[in-house]
Amino acid sequence: MRIYTRRGDDGTTGLFHGGRVGKDSSGPEAYGTVDEAVSALGVVRALADSELADAVLDVQRDLFVVAAELATDQARRDRLEEGVSRVDSSMIDRLEDRIDRIDSDVGMPTEFIVPGGEPVAAAIDVARTIVRRAERRAVAHLTDGPESLVVPYLNRLADYLYMLARAVEREWTPKRGEPT
C-alpha cells in the first residue's frame, strides 16, 4: 500500500467514519493542531526521564482520542466509542488528579513564569501553547454539534502541562556558573 492516495490533491481530506471536507475547514484545523501537540509532546518524551516520559505518552495517547473525535463528522459522532475515539469524563478526571498532585507537591507559582529555565520544561511549555491553540480551534469547530468534552479536556490538559513544566523546573538545579 502506498502512503499517497491522491484523493487530497483537490484540497479535501477524508474524515473518520466517512465524508470529506476542505483541508482548511474547522475540523482539520482543530485535529491538525492536536497532531502538532502530539509531536511537540514527542520532543518532551524524547528529552525526559522515564517517569515523565510515561506520563507524556499517556497524554499523547489521549490526544489521539481527541483527534479522532474532531476528525468525525458531527452527524456521525454517535459511532464513536467513549475513551477510544471519543473523549470521556474519566480522561478529564485523570488530568485533574495529576494537576492536584503537582499542586500539592510544587504549589502554584506566585509570579509570572518566563519559559526556558530548563530544556524539558521549555519543551513542555511549547506543547502547552500548541494545546491552547488546539483548544481555540476546537471551540470554533464544535459550535453547532452534539455535546463534546473535547474543549474541557484540552483546557485541563493545558493546565496540566503548565503545572508539569513548573514541577520539572523545581527539580532542576542550575549548573555551576549559571544564574539561579
Q: What is the pLDDT of residues 119-130, one digit of tens each?
A: 999 999 999 999
CA distance 15 to 96: 30
Question: The pTM is what?
Answer: 0.88
Over residues 10-33, mean pLDDT: 86
Instruction: Return the CATH number of the domain spanning residue range 12-171.
Output: 1.20.1200.10
pLDDT score of 171 more than 80: no
Q: What is the pLDDT of residues 116-162, one digit of tens each?
A: 889 999 999 999 999 999 999 999 999 877 789 999 999 999 999 99
- Domains in the chain: boundaries: 12-171
Tell me the residue type at 141.
H
Measure the CA angle with vertex 177, ends 171 and 180; round to 5°: 40
pLDDT given at position 172: 59
Confidence of residue 163 (pLDDT cuts 50, 70, 90): very high
pLDDT score of 95 more than 50: yes
